[in-house]
Structure formats: structure tokens, C-alpha cells
Amino acid sequence: PVEECPPNQLMCKSGDQCVDIISYCDKKLDCNDGSDEEDCVNIKGDCSFENDICEWSQNDDDDFDFKRVDSAESGEGPPSGHTMSKAGSNYFLMSVAEAEEQGA
């Protein structure tokens, strides 16, 4: 266990790790126990796409489509979403609608 953290760091709930103060509530898991992302204030419009599509909607009048992808199930895109820095997180994939219609 860590007895005390330096002035610019806070202790994780586990008591065995210190992380920079700026790492708290930044949507990245810095504490091994994830406690740096607990009890964070949700800001309207700030969405990670981990649970839903955040009130986004598809525009049918353009050449692009997006879809929410679970990186654990997909063979396309990155191995994890960037918001929670863990495998199995979600992200949005943007593609050209015409290319998908043609089977590209």
C-alpha cells in the first residue's frame, strides 16, 4: 500500500496507487481499480457512447453513415474505444454510405 501521494496526485480507492489529479474524471481508467472514473459529474452533451448513441441521429440526406460498434464483436476499427481505455468498449464508425451500398 501507498502511505501518501505527492501533492499533485490523489490516491486510488484501492490504496495502492497514486495518479495525477488531472487524471480524475477524464474518461480514461488510470487507477487499476477504476476509482478515478467513479462519482464523476455528467455534463450534458458529454457522452462516451459506452451505453447508447447519446441522442445522435442519422442524417439520411448525406453521403455518410455512422454506427455504434462494440470493439469486442467487431473486426473493424480500433481494438478498444478511447473513452474508457479498455477492450470491449464502444466507438462510432463513420463510413461513406454509397460504398456500403455497393458492398465495399
Q: What is the pLDDT of residues 74-91, one digit of tens each?
A: 566 665 555 555 555 666
Give the integer Cα–Cα distance in Å for 24 and 62: 38
7, 17, 91 from 53: Cα distances, Å: 38, 33, 10
- pLDDT of 78 reads 62
**Torsion sign (Cα): 20, 26, 30, 33:** positive
pLDDT at residue 94 in the model:
73
Nearest-angstrom CA–CA distance, 62 and 86? 32
pLDDT tens digit string along 30-63? 999 999 999 888 777 677 677 777 777 888 888 8
Which residues does residue 69 pair with via DSSP β-bridges, in sequence order? 91
